[in-house]
Structure 1
Amino acid sequence: MRVTIKDVAKLAGVAPSTVTRVIQNKSTISDETKKRVREAMVELDYHPNLNARSLVSQSSQVIALVLPIDSDVFYQNPFFPTVLRGITQIASDNDYAIQICTGQNEERRLDNLKQLIYGNRVDGLIFLYSSPNDPLVDFAIKDKFPFLILGKAASPFVSLVDNDNIKAAFDATEYFIQQNYRKIAFIGGNKELSVSQDRYEGYKEALQKAGIPLDEKLVHFSFGFMLEDNSYQLMESLPLTELDAIMTTDILVAEGVRQYLLEHQLTIPIISFDSIKPRLDIEAYIDINAVELGRESVRTILQIIKDHKEGKTVCYRQLIDHTITKL
């Protein structure tokens, strides 16, 4: 239940109008009263509405993009700037601004999210990642606030915009199998992310369909922030002389793999996922159409916001097509 100015006023022993003047930092309020009101705000976890427009229109005309904790990876990966291009196109067309929500740790991110929601500073949220048991998603669900996930949602009742990552990875693996490759290594991104799990599942399904046993020695996941460095190190663990091909789930991972092969003068075909033509010399890539992912995410969240204002609850699950492009 949201805390109101009246709740703060009651705890502080003042009138609601006094709380408003404290929020506005009016000089007519004594320091002692300001201190008492601010302590009540902290105790009740009250976040004031700082957006004047929303008081009149009940709309901030702002959408928040929620980033993961490891936002360094977000800024490094060319997928995300491409998604942002699609997001800003449709947001601008609909007179919406974009706000970034992130933080150095989970607690700070959650607090920042609460400030945006309780302060009526945003109309809706787009989570630019997907992770199981996410407290920020849980909070948005509990608060019944308009949001969607750009990626796989843990609940079938959460709206999402995504690729079919299982099918995309299946197609990528089958691309190599059709060339009679059997020793196909899988190097994924962060194992905690749903996108990595789904692409691994697609890889396994393609092997199973072709009657190729899964070899755990050929499967590795990166970790932490520096995906290129991690994937480079992981190459040391692979039986390279036996490999026919390598599938990576992320272009940053592919960069580390490619660098290792170049330095060791090895030639092994690589396929990866990207949203634009990769600058790497690799065999092929899965174009996940990131610009359209971004566009559709804004179209969908705007519809969710409209539904919310009309008292309707609709679950939207949009899938964007992928293609394989040989380089």
Structure 2
Amino acid sequence: MSWLTEFPELSRRDLMGLRKTLDGAYRDFSREYGDTIEAFFDPLLSFLIWFEKLLIATPWWLMIAILMLITHLAARSLKLTIGVGIALFMVGYLGMWEDTMSTLSIITVCTIIAIIVGVPIGILMARSGRTQAIVTPILDIMQTMPAFVYLIPVVMLLGIGKIPGLIAVVIYAIPPVIRLTNLGIRLVDKEVLEAADAYGASPWQRLINVQLPLAMPNIMAGINQTIMMSLAMVVIASMIGVAGLGQPVLKSITNQYFTLGLLNGGAIVVLAIIFDRVSQAWAHRSQQHMGDNRS
């Protein structure tokens, strides 16, 4: 029975050995394949840098006009369009325009990547119970893991810069769009699917013309949540070199600059509100348009 008294020490010793083994294996992997993986992401880095420079180089008045036009086309709300214009003007007036455009560029790219990767995974989960059983625990882990933890393996593999930050943001923010795409497709009325089958629709036609349009409100809700989580990750990602509004907030924390943190935090809130209101309004309009067409 002596092993009972030695159990804590034995467990610590075994755990230490396991940790050393795993750390060594990951270091060897990053040294062996880090450059190759980094080269794989070079086109994405080039696009991100180009897009960021484009937003920053565009005159502020033209950028505000473009964003107001996008808002109006998506929401068809004059009040929301004017509100977006005033909010963006105040952001620029308070000297945060360049950081706001940097944040807007990375959030836009992260959202596009999350949609391209997340929607197909959600579709696979909806079509296969086995895929759902495999992916759901992974999503649970991704949503409960502390945000700082995502930075560790990415930084060890790719170093500090825009791409590691972008990958960390995507990993943190992608679960909602996957879950809600899966949920939206599964909630499509079976009678509607049976009617599509009766008209001779192929599985692909049924997906594109029936399931995805009817699931669009849920998918848009997932995209909305993904954008919100991306913005929440911006400050943390600034610790590994992601430019934007997160860096002044981080600077204000380390140097106790209350006003700097408050203003840049407010700019992040402004972006969050704009994305939230515009995406919700567009989803609501799409749902109404779909209902009018069905009637």
TM-score by length of 1: 0.19
Larger radius of gyration between Structure 1 and Structure 2: 1
Larger RCO: 1 or 2 (CA < 8 Å, sep 6+): 2
Structure with greater helix share of residues: 2
Q: Which has the higher strand share?
A: 1
TM-score where L is the length of structure 2: 0.20
